[in-house]
Amino acid sequence: RAKEQRGSLSFFSDDMTVAVQQRLAMEQSLRQALERQEFCLYYQPQWSTDGGHLTGVEALIRWQHPDRGMIPPAAFIPVAEQSGLIGQIGRWVLQEACRQVARWQAAGVPVPRVAVNVSPQQLHYHSLVDELAAALEESGIEPERLELEVTESALMSPGVNAEDMLQALREQGVRLAIDDFGTGYSSLAYLKRFPLDLLKIDKSFTDDLLGSKEAHAIVETIILLGHRLGLDVLAEGVETPAQQQALEQLACDHIQGYLMSRPLPVVELERLLRDAHVD
């Protein structure tokens, strides 16, 4: 009652204060998390569509909070992006993924290609190219082991010269993938301008693949388009054998999803890498 009587304006500002305070608190704990090294990477395997070969893994960040347990990226990446901390976090992810590849190589573990998510903000800074070069140099890994995932909306965002940026990244020898393909404000024209290797079909299309003729037509068309442009195509979020079969029929190259494997901590992934056919 009391709140209503105070009127909507003060009610609104109270809410704002709480939201701002929460954000500041989150920013503060993210800074600490970086210092205290509370982040870690999980790795989700990617497979040939028939499931026979493990063709890569995607690095997905996790925050192991000392009190709150494992925090998923959706709960902190947006704050990291708003506060600019994503620059430091993104650099850590890049370094850590490269170091992990180097550790696997040293331990004689069959090494898959590792995909790393690049946030839109990282594309705004030319330092990404230098950071990539430094991470590759420090770890001594072959650049073609690494794949960078960028979203279409990041490429279309104002102030980003995506063509130059991707070209510069590509010159370092890494592979480039478009993440969440089909969901952004996409212009198909960019597909021929940009030096890409892989299209990742968004999970929302995989979800509807069997239930909707339209989704099926879209997936079929993305696969044909990708192949015509010389790109590999991967479907995300594959959860059922029926989806896998449909994707096999459509000649999709790779699948990723809970049906095959969830994102795994390093030790569990290593076990899989020693057993699976790694391409």
Residue 271, Cβ neighbours under 10 Å: how many?
A: 12
Three-state secondary-structure class, residue 104: helix
Residue type, 5: Q
- Binding partner of residue 195 among ligand C2E, Ca ion, none, CB cut-off 5 to 8 Å per kind: none
Q: Is 268 in the site for ligand C2E (CB under 6 A)?
A: no
Q: Is 232 in the site for ligand C2E (CB under 6 A)?
A: no
Rounded Cα–Cα distance for residues 257 and 235 (Å): 8
Position among 96, 147, 152, 179 found at the interface with Ca ion (CB under 5 A): 179
Site string for Ca ion, 218-237 (x = CB under 5 A): ------------------x-
Q: Which of residues 108-127 bind Ca ion (CB under 5 A)?
A: 117
Here the tokens at position 95 are: 């370094």
Site string for Ca ion, 136-155 (x = CB under 5 A): -------------x------
Residue count, binding to Ca ion (CB under 5 A): 5
Position among 119, 139, 243, 244 found at the interface with ligand C2E (CB under 6 A): 119
Rounded Cα–Cα distance for residues 61 and 97 (Å): 10
Here the tokens at position 184 are: 């952004």
Site string for ligand C2E, 26-65 (x = CB under 6 A): ------------------x---------------xx----
Asked if residues 151 and 178 have their Cβ atoms less than 8 Å apart, the reply is yes
Asked if residues 199 and 181 have their Cβ atoms less than 8 Å apart, the reply is yes
Three-state secondary-structure class, residue 85: coil
- Binding partner of residue 12 among Ca ion, ligand C2E, none, CB cut-off 5 to 8 Å per kind: none
Q: Is 263 in the site for ligand C2E (CB under 6 A)?
A: yes
From the list 23-31, 71-79, 184-192, 212-220, the region that binds ligand C2E by CB under 6 A is 71-79
Reported residue count of the chain is 279
Position among 27, 239, 248, 268 found at the interface with ligand C2E (CB under 6 A): 239
Asked if residues 198 and 178 have their Cβ atoms less than 8 Å apart, the reply is yes
Nearest to 83 by CA among 150, 125, 24: 24
Please report how close the Cβ of residue 197 comes to Ca ion at its closest, in angstroms: 14
Nearest to 151 by CA among 118, 191, 174, 188: 118
Asked if residues 279 and 57 have their Cβ atoms less than 8 Å apart, the reply is no
Q: Is 223 in the site for ligand C2E (CB under 6 A)?
A: no
- Binding partner of residue 74 among Ca ion, ligand C2E, none, CB cut-off 5 to 8 Å per kind: ligand C2E
Position among 96, 147, 152, 180 found at the interface with Ca ion (CB under 5 A): 180
Here the tokens at position 180 are: 């969440």
Residues binding Ca ion (CB under 5 A) = 117, 149, 179-180, 236
